[in-house]
Amino acid sequence: MDCRRCEAVCCRLPVWLMDGDDQVPGWMIDEDGPGGRRMAQNDEGWCVAIDPYHLRCTIHPQRPAICRQFEMGGNDCRSERQHYQRQALDLATPTPST
């Protein structure tokens, strides 16, 4: 896997905030139900902290704990990239008409 061409697909996953994630700027947080907090996402489903031009986290030093645990090139990373690539291939493959 070539991480230099990372498509940052993990930045489209829902990121639930945990105790201790108080360093995340408040305007980047969505409240979800009674006490649930997660990183907000833009209209296209990307985390609001991602720089869309460079696919980099703009709050990297303050990123949530779950993002810190998501290892670049690790098993979860490879799995998400494969899932994303399968979805893209499915969208690009025409379905036969009946």
Per-residue model confidence as pLDDT tens digits over 9-31: 788 888 999 999 999 999 999 98
- Confidence check: pLDDT of 35 > 90: no
CB 73 within 8 A of CB 1: yes
CB 45 within 8 A of CB 95: no
Share of the chain above pLDDT 90, in %: 33
pTM: 0.73
CB 16 within 8 A of CB 30: no
- Confidence check: pLDDT of 56 > 80: yes
